[in-house]
Structures are given as structure tokens and as C-alpha cells.
Copies of this chain bind each other. A is one copy, B any other.
Amino acid sequence: MAGSTFGNIFKITTWGESHGKALGVMVDGCPAGIDLCEEDIQKFLNKRKPGQSKYTTQRKEDDQVEILSGIFEGKTTGTPISMLVRNKDHHSTDYREISTYYRPGHADYTFDEKYGFRDYRGGGRSSGRETIGRVAAGAIASKILEQLGISITAYSKSIGNVEIDYKNFDKEEINQNPVYMPDKDAAAKAGKLLKEKMADMDSAGGIIECIVDGMPAGIGEPVFEKLDANLSKAIMSIGAVKGVEIGDGFAAAMSNGSTDNDGFKMEQGRIVKTSNHAGGIMGGISDGSQIIVRAAIKPTPSIARTQTTVNKSHEDIEINIKGRHDPIIVPRAVVVVESMAAITLVDMLFLAMTSRMDRIVDFWKK
């Protein structure tokens, strides 16, 4: 069935394969009157561009976005915004071999089981390139959040066993190192680790953390369209994500109620929390404090080592996947996590506008 649409009233629909003609996204439900140009989108897309560092693919993806609809005289019109990125650098012939077997850690086998066959070139629809549409849409969602005073900070929290030290936390540092870590020292250690993995023909995983500032309280729709539930879906839908946490997450399972409970206090006439173990969401609704989400990313499945698998003739075989592979997915996925969070927040903010009758009357009586 149709699974390529995300969101309720701010809705994105992505399409495209790694080595097809193009990839893209349609953003529907974007309000009218927002200044928007291709450069706004390109800035976001460039963050996921490969070939930026020695740890990411050398394939030259000159991903230039084209906006095809929904903008007039520099502003969104309220009608669907269609965006497209043409595929350029693809050597489909390279993929003839992998068409015959199932790569471990990839979706080759499951796509074949589901659809009967697959576009095997570069992973087809299951490629990381599928996220181009998410990021292009995320750029628009971010512009909306900005106008509402809401900002998202996303970064690599850990790469393999190298974790950032919050004492060194420096937001400005995130875009200064190839692993998008907010800690210079950790970034250096992570770089060293990745070199070792490459030498070892292996790969590493890591954790991405995403912090939202400025989110008003009251966002999230019990009991199934909760803010945390939708963030989980949004982030788990990204390839290679195997876990999602809100606030203390799995650590909360080891905590005590007396520690985990966030108290309330008055501060400058406003109600604030005395701690934020909950990660800014209580009962599925934002509580006005920072929202904290984390995603566990598995190691890159494409590794240079010999691996065992089966081919389409149902024979046990050994394979060596050719080409140069990234030893890590995490850095490139940072902007994807940020984008999916932004898209979810915008949708949930819009949904929350009808929770009180007095506010609805105010809105329409003007």
C-alpha cells in the first residue's frame, strides 16, 4: 500500500530511487506567505551531501534541487510544493553483480519477498538517497519553526564507543568537524576510530541526539497521535535507525520514581520544571521545556570484508562488495533526523490549534 506519505495536515510525500531519473518530494499543507527559494532547500541538502569528508562516499552527488510548484513571486502560495533532484552520477552497470544475490544488512531480500523483484541499482528505493526528499521537506519545516521561535539542534552524540562530553559541548563546533560532533576532542577520537574501521574493512554505528528549543506546551494529541509517538515513527522510519529514546529513555527503566519525576517550580512568574528527565513530553504532550530525542544508528552494512550469503539460485556463496564504502552513516544522517523532527513538530503544532473552543472562536471571529 501507499507508504510514502508522512504527516496529517503538513504532509510530505517522497519518491525516487537511487539510480532512477530523479528523486523528490511533494510538500502539501504548507501555509501561504512564507519566503522560500531553492537556496533555502539547497543549504539543507548540502548537509547530507556525500564527498564532504574522508569518511563519507566519494560518489560525486551534485544534488541540485529544483522547485517545480507552489511558489509565486518568492512566496509559498499554500498549494503543493514539488521539489526534484535529478540523479547524475550513476553507473548502473556496477550493480549487475549485486542483482544476483542478497547483501547482508541491506533490504535486498525483503524487497524481493515483498514485490517479487527489485530495482537493484544502488539499493533502489531502499538507498540512503531516499532521504533527499525528507531533507528538502525538512528545510521548509525548519523555516516554519523559525517563524514560531522554535529551533532544533541535532548532532552526533556518539560514534562507536566514542561519546561526547557535555562539559565540552560547543554548538558552533557541530559544523566544524566531519562527524558533526559538538565536542572537538570527541570528534578527533571518532575520526581516529573511523580510520581504524576502514583499515579493518569494517564500519561503526552511533547515536544522534536532537534538541528542540522553544516548543510551546500543549502540543501532542492523546492517545495515539502523541508527540513522542509521532517523533518515534518519524525517526524509526529512517533507514539504519534501530532505536528511539525520549529524554532519559532506556536509562529511565533503571531509575527510581523519586529521581525520574520532574518537579515543578515558579521562576519569574512562570511554571518551569526542576529537571527534564521526561525530555519535554508528558502524557504525549509537550511541557514547554526542551524536547530531547535520540536515535540509534546501526553500522554501515556495506563493508569490504568477505561475507556469506545466498544467491537467487539458492546457493550459499561468499561475496565481496566492491567499491568504496563509508565506514559510518551517522554524520550524514544528522540532518535527516533533524528534518524528520522538524516535519513532525510542524504537523503537530498545526494539529494542536483546535484543542480549545475559545481559541477557535477568537481565530474565526477576527
* Residues of chain B within 8 A of A288, CB atoms compared: 113
Residues of B within 8 A of A203 (CB): 256-258
Known A-B contacts A255-B299, A256-B203; the reply to A119 vs B77 at CB < 8 A is yes
Contact among B3, B147, B204 for A226, CB-based, below 8 A: B3
Residues in B neighbouring A119, C-beta threshold 8 A: 72, 77, 79
Within 8 A of B (CB), among A238-257: 239, 241-250, 252-257
**Does A223 lie within 8 Å of B296, measured CB to CB?**
no
Q: Which of B68, B124, B303 contacts A16 (CB 8 A)?
A: B68
Interface size class of A (residues with CB under 8 A): 35 or more
A117-168: which have CB < 8 Å to B? 117-119, 124-126, 130, 144, 147-149, 158, 160-161
Q: Could you tell me the distance in whole angstroms from the C-beta of A336 to the nearest C-beta in chain B?
A: 12
Residues in B whose Cβ lies below 8 Å from that of A173: none
Specify which of B15, B69, B144, B262 is in contact with A104 (CB 8 Å cutoff).
B262
Contact between B245 and A15, CB atoms less than 8 A apart: no
Q: Does A176 contact B (CB under 8 A)?
A: no
Q: From the candidates B67, B283, B308, name the one contacting A239 in the complex (CB within 8 A).
A: B283
| Closest chain B residue to A247, Cβ basis | B242
CA distance A314 to B265 in the complex (A): 8
User: B252 near A115 (CB under 8 angstroms)?
Assistant: no
**Complex contacts, A78 vs chain B, CB 8 Å:** 114-115, 355-356
A188 at the interface (CB under 8 A from B): no
The residue of chain B having its C-beta at the shortest distance from the C-beta of A35 within the complex is B357
Q: Which of A39-47, A179-187, A345-353 contacts B (4 or more CB under 8 A)?
A: A345-353
Assembled-state Cα–Cα distance A268/B72 (Å): 32
> Is A69 touching B148 in the complex (CB atoms < 8 A)?
no
Question: Is there contact, CB below 8 Å, between B224 and A5?
Answer: yes
Which 6 pairs between the two chains have the least Cβ-Cβ distance?
Answer: A107-B283, A3-B221, A2-B29, A203-B257, A3-B225, A2-B28
